[in-house]
Amino acid sequence: MVWFRRDLRVGDLPILSAASDAGGRTLGLFVLDENLLGPAGSPRQDQLFANLTALDHQLDGKLMVVRGDPADVVPRVAESVGAEEVHISADYGPYGRRRDAAVAEQVELIATGSPYAVAPGRVTKADGDPYKVFTPYFRQWMEHGWRGPASTDAQTVRWFDPSDKEGGPRRVSIPAPSASVSDFVGEVGALEQWKEYCENDLDRYDDERNRPDLDTTSRMSIPLKYGTIHPRTMLADLSKRLGDGAQAYRRQLAWRDFYADILFQRPDSARKNYDDKFDRLRHDGGVDADAAFTAWCEGKTGFPIVDAGMRQLAAENWMHNRVRMIVASFLVKDLHIPWWRGARFFMSHLVDGDLASNQHGWQWTAGSGTDASPFFRVFNPITQGEKFDPDGTYVRRWVPELRDVPGKAVHSLKAMRPVDYPDPIVDHAHEREEALRRYGEIKG
């Protein structure tokens, strides 16, 4: 049996080769697990359902989808078809490790590969300790290397038709998405998306990756989240290119592996400060803080680049990475609200919400994580907007109240502030000093 999780594809999937070696027919299984679906939010649920439908099509309608607790249903499905082995891609997340341990007590789980180019725990210092800083990790990651793409497809195994199964958990229909999903769905869509990006925008990635107004990032975080493409496939294509764009993009894939490694080493960092000194940092709470948080969520802070980002998130369930850093800095250092409130909001709205990357991206901005941006680095939302959205195109795209404000003046609004656009909810200069004062209280 092949149990699909974060690997909703048939190409470059080593578990298919492992299952083929075992001989016989193979049942493809996916479990709708409420422990994962519940916290996911509708954007990720909808994308999941669309990708499952695409995978089922690749398997000629032979994907067995069941609903329930994997520790209960996986062994029962395996027993109902006489499967002696259950093949998986290893999961290194906190919940995934607990879930797999529970299932492995009842059936033989065989893990081959992972969702990462280099699995967590593989890249270590000479003494075996994990890295806490990205740059030395990246050097060792490059030296360690990774396997080439696995040569697999839908014909690698002989698929068992679930309609032939007798007894055991009942097969359920794949739920229909409740809203529209990304343009590129399933493995075929992911490969097409990646090909188009490589042909049109990759060479400019190093120069344009911080420009939300140009919209030339790949958005491959979405297919990577669901495993409709593997980073090995992408790295193989990047290796054929020598430009700065390909090298910068490779580095971002390394960041994804790094954050997965950090979460593997410190599962508690999904909910708590990696640097426990920040446990003493004073945060704002109460009615006023809640009102500020609501204004941030709704894109009504009076700071154009912040509001544009939050409104893009509401409209597309995605946000440009540079803007993610800007809005995170604003929440933590201008509004003095703890990073985990923002991280939870992101995870409930982002279609590409990945626990390791999201939580540690927030901790990077908050200053409480590994390889963190120094806490005293407080993004000025006005100058950030002027630098990375120099003509104001991004802001005007997402904040209609400001569409008549020309050029980069849309960021400062010194000459005019439309009556239907809110005043700033805080004074940035004052809140920056307050953030630094609070940091000064704990840094010793």
pLDDT tens readout for residues 17-45: 999 998 889 999 999 999 999 989 899 99
| Mean pLDDT value across residues 6-25 | 95
Topology of the domain comprising 116-150+188-265 = 1.25.40
Which range (8-22, 96-110, 266-280, 373-387) has the least confidence?
Answer: 373-387
Domain with CATH 1.10.579.10 in the chain: 276-439
Rounded Cα–Cα distance for residues 342 and 327 (Å):
9
pLDDT tens readout for residues 108-133: 999 999 999 999 999 999 999 999 99
Domain 1-114: give its CATH superfamily: HUPs (3.40.50.620)
pLDDT value at position 348?
95
pLDDT value at position 195?
97
Residue 307 has pLDDT above 90, yes or no: yes
| Mean pLDDT value across residues 233-256 | 96
Residue 286 has pLDDT above 90, yes or no: yes
Domain with CATH 1.25.40.80 in the chain: 116-150+188-265
pLDDT value at position 87?
98
Any bridge partners for residue 130, and if so which?
A: 124
* Top-confidence residue, 165 or 253: 253
pLDDT value at position 377?
87
Burial 384-403 (b: 16+ CB within 10 A, else e): bbbebbeebbbbbbbbeebe
Residue 172 has pLDDT above 90, yes or no: yes
| Mean pLDDT value across residues 327-353 | 97
| Mean pLDDT value across residues 254-276 | 97
Residue 80 has pLDDT above 70, yes or no: yes
| Annotation: binding site for FAD | 205, 217-221, 249, 252-259, 352-354
Residue 253 has pLDDT above 80, yes or no: yes
Mean pLDDT of the chain: 96
Residue 313 has pLDDT above 80, yes or no: yes
Reading the block at residue 26, the tokens are: 């193979």
Topology of the domain comprising 276-439 = DNA Cyclobutane Dipyrimidine Photolyase, subunit A; domain 3 (1.10.579)
Alpha-carbon torsion (263, 267, 271, 275), positive or negative: negative
Any bridge partners for residue 73, and if so which?
A: none
pLDDT tens readout for residues 353-378: 999 999 999 999 999 998 766 777 89
Query: For residue 375, which of 302, 287, 442 has the smallest C-alpha distance?
Result: 442
CA max distance for the chain:
74
Residue 97 has pLDDT above 80, yes or no: yes
pLDDT value at position 263?
98
Cα 58 to its chain centre, rounded Å, is: 25
pLDDT value at position 444?
66
pLDDT value at position 338?
98
Domain with CATH 3.40.50.620 in the chain: 1-114
Reported as a pLDDT band with limits 50, 70 and 90, residue 265 is very high
pLDDT value at position 166?
87
Contact, 113 vs 137, CB < 8 A? no
Reported as a pLDDT band with limits 50, 70 and 90, residue 154 is very high
Residue 67 has pLDDT above 90, yes or no: yes
| Annotation: binding site | 205, 217-221, 249, 252-259, 352-354
pLDDT value at position 375?
73
Q: What is the dihedral of CA 135, 232, 35, 183, to 10 degrees?
A: 110
pLDDT value at position 184?
86
Phi/psi for 159 (5° steps) reads -80, 135
Residue 248 has pLDDT above 90, yes or no: yes
- Give, in degrees to the nearest 5, the angle at Cα 273 between 252 and 312: 50
pLDDT tens readout for residues 53-65: 999 999 999 999 9
Residue 322 has pLDDT above 70, yes or no: yes
Reported as a pLDDT band with limits 50, 70 and 90, residue 206 is very high
